Structure 1
Amino acid sequence: MTYRHAFLLLVTNLLWMGTGPANSKADDSEVFEREVAPLLIKRCVECHQGKHPSGGLLLTTSAGILQGGDSGAALDKEAPGDSLLLSRVHEGEMPPEEKGQPKPLSEEETNVLERWVKGGAFWPQGRTLDLFERTNDVRGGRDLWSLQPVRRPTIPKLNGKPQSIEPQNPIDAFIGAQLKREGMTSAPTASKRVLIRRLYFDLVGLPPTQSQIAAFEQDETPQAWEKLIDELLESPQYGERWGRYWLDLVRYADTSGYERDQEKPFAWKYRDWVVNAFNTDMPYDRFILEQLAGDEIPDRTEDSVIATGFLRLGTWNDEPNDPLDYQYDRLEDLVHTTSSSFLAITVKCARCHDHKFDPVTQEDYYRMGAAFWGGPIAARERKFLGGPSPEELGVTEVLGWTDLGQTPSPLHVLMNGEREVPMYEVIPASLSMIPALDRPFQPPPETAKTTHRRLQLAQWIGNPENPLTARVFVNRLWQHHFGQGIVRTPNNFGFLADPATHPELLDWLADEFVSGGWTTKRMHKLILTSQTWRQASTHPQQEEYSVKDSGNRLWWRSERRRLDAEALRDSMLAVTGELDLRVGGPGFRPSIRAEALEGLSRKTDAWQPSSKEEQARRTLYLFSQRSLLPPMMTTFNFPDATQSCAQRDITTVPTQALVLMNNPFVHARSDRLATTILEGLSSSQAENVQNQVQQLWVSVYGRAPTTDEIEIATKHLSVQRHHFDSLSEAKEDSSIASSPAGLALASLAHVLLNSNEFVYVD
């Protein structure tokens, strides 16, 4: 060996050990952090990390790479270019092909790896790589935007001069600033008639009457708008409207699903608890606390235990093929619903392996799951699959949750999520993706009857410093007020999330929400008093702006929105005067046609509709049976309640028009409306067709018909009356509803209930 060769070998060994000259170490550390660490984290560490790295090769530490793996040494000190690590890459065997990742390293990536290995594979002393330490173009790290602390931004100045008149509502300042940068302006304010109709559907899900519209249009006082907002926020119907959105999130249904699909006793009490929580403006951190740990809080009440029904709402198979396996399926449901609803992070994806895209480790999944871990399940303990009995809760007639004791059996991280392959015991704790708040759960007090893990999980979620909780909730508020969220993937604030259209506005709203005491009604009013919410759905430069921003991500106009399934059904009952506004109580079963029951094993015996009087209640109170959702509801995108639904599908399909034309419920409303109008008119008035048209327009649209509408409607009634007058059965029936005049008016009412003006809100 020559002197020069020996010297180079010595230097190489020193570099491998991280003990080279000071200047070299500094330079090499910079190169390692800039080029090598990102490459290893992005393409290698996902498999070669943890206690069971792939092939036995650990690539997160210097010791790991020097030790090598099952195939031998990864690095060749004497001939670095012949290192097994490089040869496996050159042969295309590494990295292995994975969904969403390119198989071979790019030429640039390969060159980085070669330079590093041939240069001695320098590794900074004490450095440990972490898969989720930084965000790259493959996955998110703990530096992901949604995991950073909420910082209240400065409200933009649109004109930049102190004497200028700036928007009074900060929302308009943030929206206006972005529009100004794009050379755009917002749409003008919508008419008072449009605004009141929009507000009623927004806050209570019902149409305003003609008298309510007229009163608002005639009120010229500056306080008119805020007064109307306050009035609706104090209405019992507000909680019914906004509670429904939460029920979608928590997969609410009245039955258990699977083949038997048996009723969940008293599930409706949870529904009523949600409605009441919104109506009383329960602070959101308390809203979280009671649903996750209402049985563990010091001031526990029957209502707070009812709130834990949140944990019991999922599908429940009382006869699983393997109860022990099913225990882990139930655990997945609890982890997924909790993390999706409150945090908009899909933690369930880490049941079998580290999350592919978000900074959630497999251990995180089980750390969170331990909060719901009530002990092992044997065949004789199947009752636990749906939670404890009311007697165990200490209350009666409640669908709630509590632990079976304070010391459940250990929960182990499972290899590939398989129950038969436990790896190591998990320490119950919060998720590690927010390092500043990462901490293990403490043991419960000696006198406690439960683990107190759910209580600590709820406190972690509701911590004002948790960056996700407030951001996620104010985004949901924005979504239901505007049709889309600032983040348009409301159940996903992770790496694959749609980027926030206005990140500074989102943070300002989140900070305002927390600093204002987590109260929801205050945030509603802030949004509803903005010019952004009150703008029209059409713009003077509609064509130009639609090309520039077809998705309306800049909020330059309001979105025209179709009524959802509940609002559509409720509106039909409201305009006919049939709607029963009783709040709370067990749900009703609607009439369902025999054809829809054909798929059931017991057919008609499986479904007994409630009385007509009960069926006149708001759709919120419709009994939700997972195996038998009413076709009218599903046609208009009612969710199936299997998993958390943050945003319903919005479809436009022929079956929707067919339902409105042919559904017996719609026809019954048309008949009822015609009968009510004719009975309300005197004999002489009823003979005047224009009076019938006038009353029909006022009832359905809340306005008088135009001259053209009167002409068209009058012609329609004439043709239809002549048609029904020729039918012998119509002549023989003396009731108003079945008279030629009644049938003709009912057909016109049916037209109006099918119209865009009734079904859509501008």
Structure 2
Amino acid sequence: MGKHVRIRAASAAAALMVVLPLCLAAGRAAAADFETGAGDVLLRRCLECHGASDPSGGLDLSRADGLLAGGDSGAVVAPGDPAASPLLARVIAGEMPPAKNGVARSLPDAEIAALRDWIAAGAGWPEGRHLDPFERTTDSRGGRDWWAFEPLRATLPPTVAGVSHPIDAFVRDRLAREGIAPAPPADRRTLLRRLAFDLVGLPPTADELDAFVADPAPDAYEKQVDRLLASPHFGERQARHWLDVARFAETNGYERDAEKPHAWRYRDWVVKAFNDDMPFDRFVLEQLAGDELPDRSEATAIATGFLRLGTWDDEPNDAEDYQYDRLEDLVNVTSTAFLGLTVKCARCHDHKFDAITQADYYRLAAAFWPGPVHNGRAKALGGPSAEQIGFDVLGWTDLGPEAPPIHALKKGDRHRPLAEVKAGAPSFVGTLAGDFPPPPADSRTTLRRTHLARWITHPTNPLTPRVIVNRLWQHHFGNGLCRNPDNVGFNGPRPEYRDLLDALAADLVAGGWKLKALHRLIVTSATYRQASIHPDMEALADRDPGNALLWRADRRRLDAESLRDAILAVSGDLDPRLGGPSFKAPIDGEALEGLSMKGGAYQPSPPEECRRRSLYMFTKRGLIVPLMTTFDQCDTTVPTGKRDVSIVALQALSLLNNGWVRGEADACAGLVLAAAAEAGPRVDDAWQRVLGRLPSAEEKEAALAYVTTQMAGEAARERLAWASMCQVLFNTNEFLSID
């Protein structure tokens, strides 16, 4: 008897050993079928509305129990019976997914069949499987597999015959595969003018142009690059770009638009940081947490002015609500400037297009929560006092080493708090997600901002190096490799040269985050040195109208500051001093009528102060100098990585009628008149001074005729006539543009 039992037991065990692997294999196969079939359809087509977070109609299709529970209108699936399943019926009828922006989104037959077969087989769901709408990219949103969240690709430059520069290897390889020849090199005068504006924001002098054209050395261009990178004006030009991103202004905005004391010191800190080639990871750290550093100083405290530059309402309608608006500003400027993401869109709900949850938003917001976001004291202008910071600067610090809890808010309503959220790294860079540790017992602050800065600049965080490389590329080409520098998420265009972007980003991190080396690498490439006119211009413009493939250089209009500085430079009026308090440019009385507080609210600086570079012009949020707005100076209330560029008649009219421009044209005419006694050489001098070249015979003849007409036979009108000529040159496309 015992023997038979043992035999039966052994037989059962043997059978189990055969059946169990088959069952496991079948289970794995079913799970695989779910992932590639119905599960994939549900994830890509349904979770936009029926996810775990606030599901539409109460129907949560992200997990098995939600599917079986149904929604507000009852059950949606009858396992084993497709005909009795309302979910399938509505999909077949084209009602689900619902139309979007008037466009039907009916599922293709193959996806409908996948749902039908799945229901017919019992609507099986892998145990423990939770469909996460952020796990993969779909037609309507980005997932955690979106390209910008992926690790940097360590791609070596392709091998291209006759090409040694790594940037050119990537570009020429792509152009060759597209059957496109690159544009020829730009001539030396055009190239040096382009380089000078890009690196220092000023035109080269006639002597500098002549010297470069005549220099026979094989490294003549590289010497010019190094000269300009070493110029103190390099930091001024690069600072202008960063101040746009940092939403720099020197007043609070709103009705009273009061001044932010010492804001100019942050601007000067940025200039010095770029001139000193401060590593970019340190640049990030000091701006977010300069007050928390072991080696903190007045300079690092000034750097935290980055967090104070936003608007500040001294009498909000609801002070408790307003602290969340201030948090949004801090999250927005940090995530936009350093990560190139629109994290602020997740304040009230999960992001509609990117893998950013509402919890991610509040995890970042919690880094700033210990600071004076709720400080409404007018004397401190919404920030910490000098005593709290330790220095009399416009800076930021926590109000202590502990912070009150912060909760996510349902639909952004502070009266509807959800779960408490811990300060920590967000989930969209999955390998780095996690809570920030508490501070040591003797800490002055929570150190949350230090941890945030360390996360942003962690060597394996792919966003930060991609974003800053993309910004620098845009500064030199007019467009970034990713065309929207402030949004590398789903709604931003993908980069045409992903491998090039990643290679430059990886080199930046490996090279210690040094930006001058990156500038040098970019501007020494043949791609940068191309002409803006291509022999096959018309055909290629039809094929690639945005020049995304980089087959030529793009002509770019000067920004407002470069235009004003160039006018000052060619007129001999530019004061090249660096740093110090800002000057207030003269503004016509009609424009001042827009101020709510008149009576001395705006007093211009002495004329000699107004000859400084435009970087040092006082930026009042409620009153931007009209000439600057005409040439698209950016909105200072939000981070701006790329300014609008318009070409409108008002710009030409401003250059012809603006009193300041007329005054500078007169100063330029004085130099022209002093340069020569005869009209012909004077025309030569005017062209060289303003345009950097001699006039053609036709241009010279027209200029002489113009001056003669303007003088109308009256010697007393000579200077006025030449001033008019100089003003005409200010209005030429050649002067207004970088070729």
Of the candidates 715, 719, 727, which is equivalent to residue 742 of structure 1? 719
1:230 partnered with 2:226: yes
CA deviation profile, 1:300-354 (whole Å, cap 9, x unmatched): 1111111111111111101000011111111111111111110111111111111
- The one-letter code of the counterpart of 2:331 is V
Distance, in Å, in 1 between the alignment partners of 2:577 and 2:496 is 40
3-state SS of paired residue (2:712): helix
Report the CA distance between 1:610 and its aligned residue.
Answer: 0.7
CA deviation profile, 1:553-602 (whole Å, cap 9, x unmatched): 11111111111100100011001111011111111111111121222223
- Check 1:377–1:241 CA distance in 2 against 1; reply closer, same or farther (3 A cut): closer
Whether the 8 Å contact between 1:597 and 1:604 is mirrored in structure 2 is: no
3-state SS of paired residue (1:59): coil
Distance, in Å, in 1 between the alignment partners of 2:479 and 2:721 is 41
- Check 1:333–1:199 CA distance in 2 against 1; reply closer, same or farther (3 A cut): same
- Check 1:719–1:88 CA distance in 2 against 1; reply closer, same or farther (3 A cut): closer
What is the TM-score of this pair, normalised by structure 2?
Answer: 0.93
Q: How does 1:247-258 map to 2 (within 5 A)?
A: 247-258=243-254
1:207 partnered with 2:230: no
Distance, in Å, in 2 between the alignment partners of 1:384 and 1:603 is 24
Q: Which residue of 2 aligns with 1:63?
A: 65
Q: How does 1:310-325 map to 2 (within 5 A)?
A: 310-325=306-321
1:506 partnered with 2:508: no
- The one-letter code of the counterpart of 1:249 is V
Distance, in Å, in 2 between the alignment partners of 1:584 and 1:270 is 10
Distance, in Å, in 1 between the alignment partners of 2:379 and 2:406 is 20
* CA RMSD after TM alignment: 2.2
Distance, in Å, in 2 between the alignment partners of 1:333 and 1:487 is 24
3-state SS of paired residue (2:408): strand
Of the candidates 135, 138, 141, which is equivalent to residue 136 of structure 1? 138
- The one-letter code of the counterpart of 1:658 is L
- The one-letter code of the counterpart of 2:208 is Q
Q: Which residue of 2 aligns with 1:12?
A: none
- The one-letter code of the counterpart of 1:640 is D
- Check 1:90–1:181 CA distance in 2 against 1; reply closer, same or farther (3 A cut): closer
Of the candidates 357, 365, 390, which is equivalent to residue 369 of structure 1? 365
Report the CA distance between 1:102 and its aligned residue.
Answer: 4.8
Q: Which residue of 1 aligns with 2:710?
A: 720
Distance, in Å, in 1 between the alignment partners of 2:388 and 2:468 is 33
Q: How does 1:13-92 map to 2 (within 5 A)?
A: 21-22=23-24, 24-50=26-52, 53-77=55-79, 81-86=83-88
Distance, in Å, in 1 between the alignment partners of 2:151 and 2:603 is 53
Report the CA distance between 1:118 and its aligned residue.
Answer: 2.7
Report the CA distance between 1:47 and its aligned residue.
Answer: 3.9
Report the CA distance between 1:62 and its aligned residue.
Answer: 2.2
Whether the 8 Å contact between 1:76 and 1:83 is mirrored in structure 2 is: yes
Aligned residues: 720
Of the candidates 546, 555, 567, which is equivalent to residue 541 of structure 2? 546
Whether the 8 Å contact between 1:323 and 1:382 is mirrored in structure 2 is: no
3-state SS of paired residue (1:295): helix
- Check 1:402–1:465 CA distance in 2 against 1; reply closer, same or farther (3 A cut): same
Report the CA distance between 1:209 and its aligned residue.
Answer: 0.8
CA deviation profile, 1:194-241 (whole Å, cap 9, x unmatched): 111111111011111111111111111122211111111111110000
Report the CA distance between 1:93 and its aligned residue.
Answer: 6.6
CA deviation profile, 1:9-45 (whole Å, cap 9, x unmatched): xxxxxxxxx9994454333222211122222122332
Of the candidates 332, 337, 348, which is equivalent to residue 352 of structure 1? 348
Distance, in Å, in 2 between the alignment partners of 1:617 and 1:521 is 25
Q: Which residue of 2 aligns with 1:753?
A: 730
Q: Which residue of 1 aligns with 2:4?
A: none
Q: How does 1:146-545 map to 2 (within 5 A)?
A: 146-159=148-161, 166-374=162-370, 386-396=382-392, 398-545=393-540
Whether the 8 Å contact between 1:36 and 1:116 is mirrored in structure 2 is: yes
3-state SS of paired residue (2:527): helix
- Check 1:59–1:221 CA distance in 2 against 1; reply closer, same or farther (3 A cut): same
CA deviation profile, 1:439-479 (whole Å, cap 9, x unmatched): 11111111112111111110000011101111111111111
Structure 1: gaps spanning 5 or more residues: 1-17, 160-165, 726-738
Whether the 8 Å contact between 2:193 and 2:204 is mirrored in structure 1 is: yes
3-state SS of paired residue (2:419): strand
Of the candidates 624, 631, 650, which is equivalent to residue 629 of structure 1? 624
Whether the 8 Å contact between 1:89 and 1:104 is mirrored in structure 2 is: yes
3-state SS of paired residue (2:47): coil
- Check 1:363–1:102 CA distance in 2 against 1; reply closer, same or farther (3 A cut): farther
Distance, in Å, in 1 between the alignment partners of 2:658 and 2:519 is 36
Percent of aligned pairs sharing the same letter: 52
Q: Which residue of 2 aligns with 1:5?
A: none
Whether the 8 Å contact between 1:589 and 1:623 is mirrored in structure 2 is: yes
Q: Which residue of 2 aligns with 1:4?
A: none
- The one-letter code of the counterpart of 2:320 is L
- Check 1:379–1:520 CA distance in 2 against 1; reply closer, same or farther (3 A cut): closer
1:700 partnered with 2:696: no
3-state SS of paired residue (2:366): helix
CA deviation profile, 1:604-655 (whole Å, cap 9, x unmatched): 6321111110100000001000110011001111002111111111111110
Whether the 8 Å contact between 2:256 and 2:596 is mirrored in structure 1 is: no
- The one-letter code of the counterpart of 1:145 is W
Distance, in Å, in 2 between the alignment partners of 1:493 and 1:122 is 37
- The one-letter code of the counterpart of 2:213 is E
Q: How does 1:571-590 map to 2 (within 5 A)?
A: 571-590=566-585
- The one-letter code of the counterpart of 1:61 is R
CA deviation profile, 1:652-687 (whole Å, cap 9, x unmatched): 111011111101111001111122333x35xxx53x
Whether the 8 Å contact between 1:62 and 1:123 is mirrored in structure 2 is: yes
Report the CA distance between 1:52 and its aligned residue.
Answer: 5.1
Q: Which residue of 2 aligns with 1:736?
A: none
Whether the 8 Å contact between 2:37 and 2:114 is mirrored in structure 1 is: yes
Distance, in Å, in 1 between the alignment partners of 2:373 and 2:327 is 12
Whether the 8 Å contact between 2:255 and 2:596 is mirrored in structure 1 is: no
CA deviation profile, 1:244-294 (whole Å, cap 9, x unmatched): 101001111011111111111111111111111100000000011011111
- The one-letter code of the counterpart of 1:406 is P
Whether the 8 Å contact between 1:324 and 1:377 is mirrored in structure 2 is: no
Whether the 8 Å contact between 2:532 and 2:554 is mirrored in structure 1 is: yes
Whether the 8 Å contact between 1:724 and 1:743 is mirrored in structure 2 is: no
- The one-letter code of the counterpart of 1:154 is L
Whether the 8 Å contact between 2:250 and 2:263 is mirrored in structure 1 is: yes
Distance, in Å, in 1 between the alignment partners of 2:418 and 2:367 is 19
3-state SS of paired residue (1:372): coil
- Check 1:377–1:253 CA distance in 2 against 1; reply closer, same or farther (3 A cut): closer
Whether the 8 Å contact between 2:248 and 2:309 is mirrored in structure 1 is: yes
Moved more, 329-338 or 695-704: 695-704
Distance, in Å, in 1 between the alignment partners of 2:106 and 2:180 is 45
- Check 1:192–1:581 CA distance in 2 against 1; reply closer, same or farther (3 A cut): same
Distance, in Å, in 1 between the alignment partners of 2:119 and 2:629 is 60
Q: Which residue of 1 aligns with 2:7?
A: none
Report the CA distance between 1:546 and its aligned residue.
Answer: 1.7
What is the TM-score of this pair, normalised by structure 1?
Answer: 0.91
Distance, in Å, in 2 between the alignment partners of 1:552 and 1:529 is 20
Whether the 8 Å contact between 1:156 and 1:177 is mirrored in structure 2 is: yes
Whether the 8 Å contact between 2:137 and 2:143 is mirrored in structure 1 is: yes
CA deviation profile, 1:374-430 (whole Å, cap 9, x unmatched): 27976866777722112210111x100001112211111111111110011011111
Distance, in Å, in 1 between the alignment partners of 2:210 and 2:376 is 65
Whether the 8 Å contact between 1:487 and 1:498 is mirrored in structure 2 is: yes
